[in-house]
Structure 1
Amino acid sequence: MKFNKRWSVGLLSVVALISLSACTEDQTKPASTSNEAAEEMDHSTMNHSSSGEVPVTLKKAENPKFPIGSTAIITDGHMEGMKGAEATIVGAYTTTAYVISYEPTSGGKRIEKHKWVIHEELIDPQEAPLAPGTEVKTDATHMEGMENATVLIDEAVQTTVYMVDYTSTTSGEAVTNHKWVTEEELSPK
């Protein structure tokens, strides 16, 4: 009788242990960060290259950390093939850059936390910086359905923004006049 009781207690302990381990969360996986979420965002409708035209009210940076013609490494990838690419600086401007969310005017799913739209690409905005939660329209054309969309300001950063040329690290595609990369997203070569 004692043997059966011990065996039953042992078996019950093993079953309880297996049940508990099946209910626990896998602690070996790192939590997703906002940068990873941004990297996972679908940018297939993004205009990677642009004409290089900038708003007339945009002010050139007087003493940018990365002068026009210099090279730097892109440390944050808003889209595939950007992170780790060598960038040539083609423009440097002092402004407020925004992370935005919006419903594309062309339809489709809501775009969350798009980087970056600058203050000069907003239609009739109040004085910069706009507070998170502010809604305003944009005339930016970085992505299909962005022009004339009502956007929600998620974050505002007063910084130097750069227009850059680079070659995608994944496709080998040459990207020219890409708008925008912030100073914090570049490191010296």
Structure 2
Amino acid sequence: MEEEFKLNKKWTMGFLSLTTAFALVACNDQQGDQKKGEQAKTTEQQNTNSDHMNMDHSSSGEVPTGLQEAKNPTFKIGSKAIMHTNHMPGMEGAKATIVGAYDTTVYAVSYKPTDGGKEVKNHKWVIQQEIKDADNKKFVKGDEVTIEADHMKGMKGAKGTIESSKDTTVYMVDYTPTTGGKEMKNHKWVTEDELAEE
């Protein structure tokens, strides 16, 4: 009887050890999956930022033909706003001065640069007036277009695919990146929902 009790005790202890081992493995797997997800997100953000390292932060302030000034923008010209977007390093949280406000349709586009660089995915933003032969035609996800904007090296003349679109007010802004460096002048474009009052 005593031997049977000892045998049952050993079996129970072995079963508990095995169960604990499985639980630890499952927990480690879950933590591993979580870490992989976080690493993938970080890599995606780094890739997005590196895609935009060649963007011309500053411009002459010229706007495309046919672009209409906003009649009653939320953020008035000369006012200050805080940017909440990460198109490029140093934009998130930066203080911007509004230098232009326009009503238009904006597009996120993926395109292959004309200079042979790697494909730029989901670039924000290209406006209606920066798409070749757009006129008043509204584009939808999947439409192929030719980009006339020159925000980044290899962008002008590139063939692109529309990823998303929305009608909104876009702003041209001056700002100093939170990462340091010189003030960027006449940056194009920031949408209304990417700005907040100080």
Q: How does 1:13-162 map to 2 (within 5 A)?
A: 13-25=19-31, 37=44, 41=48, 42=50, 43-125=52-134, 127-162=136-171
Residues 39 and 79, structure 1, Cα contact 8 Å, conserved in 2: no
Deviation per residue, 1:105-137 (Å, 9 max, x gap) = 111221111100000000012634211111110
Q: Deviations over 1:16-59 (max 9, x none)?
A: 22232233355867x77x9x956751211111101111112111
Report if aligned partners of 1:134, 1:153 keep a CA contact under 8 Å in 2. yes
Equivalents in 1 of 2:13, 2:109: separation in Å?
A: 62
Structure (1 or 2) with the greater helix fraction: 2
SS at match of 2:161: strand
For residue 140 of structure 1, report the CA deviation from its aligned partner: 0.5
Match for 1:5: what amino acid?
W
Residue 11 of structure 2 corresponds to 5
When normalised by structure 1's length, the TM-score is 0.89
Q: State the identity %.
A: 45
Distance 2:128 2:95 in 1: 26
Letter in 2 for 1:6: T
Structure with bigger strand share is: 1
Which amino acid in 1 is paired with 2:57? H
SS in 2 for 1:9: helix
Larger Rg: 2
Q: Secondary structure at the match of 2:10?
A: helix
Task: Return closer, same or farther for 1:151/1:88 CA change in 2, 3 Å cut-off.
Answer: same
Mapped partners of 2:72, 2:100: distance in 1? 12
Contact kept? 2:129, 2:135, Cα under 8 Å: no
Query: What root-mean-square deviation, in Å, do the aligned CA atoms of Structure 1 and Structure 2 show?
Result: 2.4
Corresponding pairs, count: 188
SS at 1:120 equivalent: helix
Give the counterpart letter for 1:13 in structure 2: T
TM-score between the two structures when normalised by the length of structure 2: 0.85
**Unaligned 5+ runs, structure 2:** 1-6
